[in-house]
């Protein structure tokens, strides 16, 4: 890539970083992403793309952007999220919203995760000749990946047709990823009856019930670890973490209510709803003679586990272009939602996940030219051939 192109790319990255777009489940942190979406829409329109700005239902100020050029059923989608995580300004060496170059690194909130990717994608399409497109190219920019994934969920719910192959440019050091675990967080609440501690028959102790539930969950975890293994993951089994418990108020009072929060990380092939159903059935069965009430709800919608077959064209292309076999990672992405839209999806982008969600987040400038070239090659294979 000629060096003369870099100033334009850096300028775009600078503009994207300068627009705050934090997403968070805490209302005091959460911000609209519309200004980032508007910037991208403007640039993509000028590049000849047809754009659609889609409001995310029930999330005011949050938008997805679908920008496409060319037509046909088997297009390539370059996808990314427009939001960032919250930040702690006092721990940054420079302003998180001012793209700052130091020692071959570009510092800024979202430089790696993942506003920088959009600047690379726009650079890669700069000289694209629309008349040569045999399949469409789509740029997808989503809202709220770092919090509720409401943007990707809305696209999946609406069954928005986007293309056949997708690349999500999350920071992976430009190595292809085709698998990650899912995440579910569940709250289990056991309700009994309070009463004076001196006479157990005056109440029904929720903590007694919870001790049975805890033993059952640990038993279930052991069984899941026996049943499911995938050696491609660093932690080869599903995990179930007991993360939070609260119950009762006084030693001399029968505990009326106890609440437990757990985190479940299933492997690909394990369905979240099936797991929740299994958990419910086991707890109900174990506690049915206690007279205690047991209820479970999900603390958020969960992210399904994700796997794209090694034989998929996008996996094969990414592997041959990078010389790396596609791997499995421990973080969740919008991949499963794009899959629900019928796309074979791979995760691969510039920057390192080690720098994401950290003060002094940066993008290593050595990844920029190879990243742009990689995107160009994928466009060439999937849209121009």
Q: Taking the complex as a whole, how short is the minimal distance between the CB of residue 175 and Zn ion, in angstroms? A: 15
Marked catalytic residue, from 145, 334, 344, 361: 145
Count of chain residues binding Zn ion (CB under 5 A):
3
Strand 362-364 to 306-307 pairing: unpaired
Give the count of alpha carbons within 13 A of 235, CB side only.
Answer: 14
Q: Is 307 in the site for Zn ion (CB under 5 A)?
A: no
Q: Taking the complex as a whole, how short is the minimal distance between the CB of residue 311 and Zn ion, in angstroms? A: 27
Q: Taking the complex as a whole, how short is the minimal distance between the CB of residue 375 and Zn ion, in angstroms? A: 17
Instruction: Report CA 140 to chain centroid distance, whole Å.
Output: 14
Q: Is 334 in the site for Zn ion (CB under 5 A)?
A: no
Nearer to Zn ion, 116 or 163 (CB): 116
Paired residues of 363 in beta bridges: 106
How far is 119 from 302, CA to CA, in rounded Å? 30
Binding region for Zn ion (CB under 5 A) out of 17-25, 112-120, 202-210, 335-343? 112-120
Q: Taking the complex as a whole, how short is the minimal distance between the CB of residue 152 and Zn ion, in angstroms? A: 12
Strand 76-81 to 137-142 pairing: parallel
Q: Is 113 in the site for Zn ion (CB under 5 A)?
A: yes
Marked catalytic residue, from 19, 83, 186, 364: 83
Contact code string over 4-43 relative to Zn ion, x by CB under 5 A: ----------------------------------------
Binding region for Zn ion (CB under 5 A) out of 108-116, 174-182, 204-212, 291-299? 108-116
Q: Virtual CA dihedral for 350, 353, 357, 363, nearest 10 degrees?
A: -30
Binding region for Zn ion (CB under 5 A) out of 164-172, 233-241, 339-347, 368-376? 164-172
Alpha helix ranges (H) inside the chain: 6-18, 34-46, 115-124, 150-157, 206-227, 272-287, 313-322, 335-339, 368-383
| Token pair for 38 | 């508007």
Active site residue 83: yes
| Token pair for 186 | 């569940």
Chain residue at closest Cβ approach to Zn ion:
113
| Orientation of helix 34-46 relative to helix 115-124, angle to 10° | 10
Active site residue 249: no
Binding footprint of Zn ion on the chain (CB under 5 A): 113-114, 170
- Residues with catalytic roles: 83, 145
């Amino acid at each position: 890539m000629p060096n003369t192109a870099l100033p334009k790319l850096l300028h775009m990255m600078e503009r994207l970083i300068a627009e705050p777009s934090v997403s968070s489940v805490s209302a005091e942190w959460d911000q609209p992403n519309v200004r980032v979406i508007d910037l991208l829409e403007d640039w993509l329109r000028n590049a000849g793309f047809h754009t659609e700005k889609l409001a995310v239902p029930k999330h005011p100020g949050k938008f997805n952007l679908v920008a496409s050029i060319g037509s046909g059923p088997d297009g390539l989608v370059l996808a990314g999220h427009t939001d960032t995580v919250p930040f702690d300004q006092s721990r940054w060496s420079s302003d998180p919203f001012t793209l700052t170059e130091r020692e071959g690194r570009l510092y800024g909130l979202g430089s790696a995760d993942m506003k920088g990717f959009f600047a690379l994608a726009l650079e890669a399409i700069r000289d694209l000749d629309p008349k040569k497109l045999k399949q469409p190219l789509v740029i997808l920019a989503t809202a709220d990946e770092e919090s509720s994934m409401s943007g990707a969920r809305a696209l999946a719910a609406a069954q928005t047709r986007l293309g056949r192959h997708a690349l999500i440019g999350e920071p992976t050091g430009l190595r292809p990823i085709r698998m990650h675990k899912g995440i579910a967080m569940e709250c289990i609440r056991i309700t009994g009856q309070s009463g004076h501690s001196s006479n157990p028959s005056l109440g029904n102790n929720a903590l007694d019930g919870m001790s049975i539930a805890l033993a059952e969950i640990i038993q279930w975890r052991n069984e899941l670890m026996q049943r499911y293994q995938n050696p491609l993951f660093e932690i080869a089994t599903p995990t179930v973490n007991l993360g939070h418990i609260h119950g009762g108020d006084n030693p001399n009072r029968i505990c009326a209510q106890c609440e437990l929060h757990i985190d479940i990380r299933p492997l690909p092939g394990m369905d979240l709803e099936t797991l929740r159903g299994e958990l419910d059935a086991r707890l109900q069965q174990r506690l049915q003679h206690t007279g205690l009430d047991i209820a479970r709800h999900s603390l958020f919608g969960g992210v399904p586990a994700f796997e794209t077959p090694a034989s998929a064209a996008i996996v094969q292309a990414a592997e041959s272009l990078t010389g790396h076999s596609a791997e499995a990672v421990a973080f969740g992405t919008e991949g499963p939602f794009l899959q629900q839209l019928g796309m074979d999806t791979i995760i691969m982008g510039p920057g390192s996940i080690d720098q994401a969600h950290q003060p002094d987040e940066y993008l290593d400038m050595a990844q920029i030219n190879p990243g742009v070239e990689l995107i160009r090659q994928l466009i060439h294979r999937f849209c121009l051939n």
